[in-house]
């Protein structure tokens, strides 16, 4: 466990590839039963489709996100000045540094970043972090499709190998328990990803209509937060704050129905559809957990493991409950009655 934690950055592509291969395994099994093609061909086709889809999404959404991030970076000094004048917030020299940096990045980004390459040891430390992060991202981008192809190709063999190693006496129970755990975890992951995609599209469209600034950036982030139940609410006050600061900075008088009502109405509508339509329809009752249990385990998982704890809290809790139910059957089973022979 210590080695896994210490090498978590290097093992991240492996873990992501395993999760993606696990999610795509039912699709490959269904395609294999109908097409009767070698599994490596299906795995290669799935890998090509995945890489192509991600590339198209990045090509289409990437420039728009980059433009909104650049606009946000250039307007942050203006926002800080507005808040400082309107509410008397003491920001100090932060505004001057932000203004200089934003202006330099817009006019001459190479000259602005040049101290990172020819500056002090602190700047060289920042440069090392930037280079290491860039190399890590590039390495992960190259290794992830390779690992995904290999795990998708051999996932069925891995499952059969695990089943073959089980003893005959425990094979039936363990297989039943693993099937229940598989249905719970697979149902949770697939359903939450689909719900997050639909919610992200709805947030982007709704907040764009409500003229919330950076609607694409905020909508995608809020939709991704939907993967963890009850976490999408974090994007609501951020959208309201962005709308308010943008209106005040432009010199206009903020109107409550324009700043608060319409962005809030969009969020409430999307949250209602997500909670009362999408979740019951897509996710159904595969997790067998009550709403109170989900809320508690999400809070505990977030406190213990951060973002990773938020993502793993519900599947781990479902698996623990399934194991407890399976092994609890023997304790509830009455002891056999032995009759003495006359």
Q: What is the CA radius of gyration of the chain?
A: 26
Kindly report which listed range (49-53, 132-136, 154-158, 229-233) carries the lowest average pLDDT score: 132-136
- pLDDT at residue 89 is higher than 60: yes
Question: End of a domain among 165, 182, 209?
Answer: 165
Question: End of a domain among 143, 165, 187?
Answer: 165
- pLDDT at residue 121 is higher than 50: no
- pLDDT at residue 342 is higher than 50: no
Q: Between 308 and 149, where is the model more confident?
A: 149
Kindly report which listed range (37-46, 218-227, 261-270, 276-285) carries the lowest average pLDDT score: 276-285
Question: End of a domain among 146, 165, 184?
Answer: 165
- Ramachandran category for residue 19: left, alpha or beta (phi over 0 → left; psi -120 to 50 → alpha): alpha
Average pLDDT (92-100) is: 59
In a domain, 341, yes or no: no
Give pLDDT, residue 269. Answer: 94
Same domain, 175 and 159: no
Give pLDDT, residue 201. Answer: 93
Domain range for 161 is 1-165
Same domain, 124 and 179: no
Same domain, 284 and 155: no
pLDDT tens-place string over residues 60-87: 887 888 778 777 777 777 777 777 777 6
In a domain, 63, yes or no: yes
Give pLDDT, residue 129. Answer: 53
Q: How many structural domains are present in the chain?
A: 2
Same domain, 152 and 191: no
Average pLDDT (237-249) is: 87
Average pLDDT (124-145) is: 66
225: how many CB neighbours lie within 10 A of its CB?
A: 20
Distance (Å, whole) CA 275 – CA 229:
9
- pLDDT at residue 105 is higher than 90: no
Same domain, 180 and 245: yes
Average pLDDT (161-169) is: 71
pLDDT, averaged across the chain: 77
In a domain, 53, yes or no: yes
Distance (Å, whole) CA 205 – CA 4:
41
- pLDDT at residue 165 is higher than 60: yes
Within 13 Å of residue 326, how many CA atoms lie on the same side as its CB? 17
pLDDT tens-place string over residues 252-280: 777 777 888 999 999 999 988 887 777 76
| Confidence label for 186 from pLDDT (cuts 50, 70 and 90) | confident
Same domain, 148 and 200: no
Q: Do residues 181 and 318 make contact, with C-beta atoms less than 8 angstroms apart?
A: yes
322: how many CB neighbours lie within 10 A of its CB?
A: 20
Closest CA to 245 of 19, 84, 88, 98: 84
In a domain, 91, yes or no: yes
State the SS3 of the chain. CHHHHHCHHHHHHHHHHHHHHHHHHHHHHHHHHHHCCCHHHHHHHHHHHHHHHHHHHHHHHHHHHHHHHHHHHHHHHHHHHHHHHHHCCCCCCHHHHHHHHHHHHHHCHHHHHCHHHHCCHHHHHHHHHHHHHHHHHHHHHHHHHHHHHHHHHHHHHHHHHHHHCCCHHHHHHHHHHHHHHHHHHHHHHHHHHHHHHHHHHHHHHHHHHCCCCCHHHHHHHHHHHCCCCCCHHHHHHHHHHHHHHHHHHCCCCCCHHHHHHHHHHHHHHHHHHHHHHHHHHHHCCCCCCCHHHHHHHHHHHHHHHHHHHHHHHHHHHHHHHHHHHHHHHHHHCCCCCCCCCC
- pLDDT at residue 124 is higher than 70: no
Give pLDDT, residue 80. Answer: 74
Distance (Å, whole) CA 264 – CA 269:
9
In a domain, 316, yes or no: yes
Average pLDDT (188-192) is: 82
In a domain, 110, yes or no: yes
Cβ-proximal residues to 116 (8 Å cutoff; 6+ apart), any chain = 123, 124, 126, 127, 130
- pLDDT at residue 123 is higher than 50: no
Within 13 Å of residue 243, how many CA atoms lie on the same side as its CB? 25
Same domain, 9 and 31: yes
């Amino acid at each position: 466990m210590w080695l896994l934690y210490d090498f978590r950055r290097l093992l991240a592509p492996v873990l992501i590839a395993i999760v993606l291969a696990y999610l795509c395994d039912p699709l490959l099994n269904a395609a294999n039963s109908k097409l009767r093609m070698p599994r490596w061909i299906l795995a290669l086709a799935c890998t090509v489709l995945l890489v192509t889809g991600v590339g198209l999404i990045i090509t289409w959404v990437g420039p728009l996100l980059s433009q909104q991030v650049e606009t946000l970076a250039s307007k942050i000094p203006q926002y800080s000045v507005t808040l400082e004048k309107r509410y008397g917030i003491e920001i100090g020299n932060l505004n001057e540094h932000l203004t200089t940096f934003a202006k330099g990045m817009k006019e001459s980004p190479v000259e602005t970043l040049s101290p990172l390459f020819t500056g002090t040891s602190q700047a060289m430390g920042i440069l090392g972090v930037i280079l290491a992060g860039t190399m890590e991202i590039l390495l992960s981008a190259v290794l992830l499709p390779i690992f995904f192809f290999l795990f998708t190709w051999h996932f069925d063999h891995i499952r059969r190998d695990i089943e073959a190693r089980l003893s005959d006496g425990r094979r039936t129970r363990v297989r039943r328990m693993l099937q229940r755990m598989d249905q719970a975890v697979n149902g949770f992951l697939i359903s939450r990803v689909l719900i997050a995609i639909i919610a992200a599209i709805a947030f982007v469209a709704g907040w764009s209509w409500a003229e919330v600034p950076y609607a694409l950036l905020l909508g995608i982030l809020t939709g991704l937060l939907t993967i963890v139940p009850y976490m999408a609410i974090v994007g609501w006050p951020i959208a309201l704050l962005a709308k308010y600061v943008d209106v005040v900075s432009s010199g206009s008088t903020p109107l409550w129905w324009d700043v608060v009502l319409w962005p809030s109405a969009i969020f409430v509508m999307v949250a209602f559809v997500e909670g009362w339509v999408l979740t019951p329809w897509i996710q159904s009752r595969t997790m067998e957990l009550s709403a109170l249990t989900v809320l508690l385990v999400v809070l505990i998982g977030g406190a213990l493991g951060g973002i990773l704890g938020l993502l793993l809290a519900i599947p781990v809790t479902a698996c623990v409950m399934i194991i407890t139910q399976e092994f609890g059957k023997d304790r509830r089973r009455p002891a056999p009655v032995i009759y003495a022979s006359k």
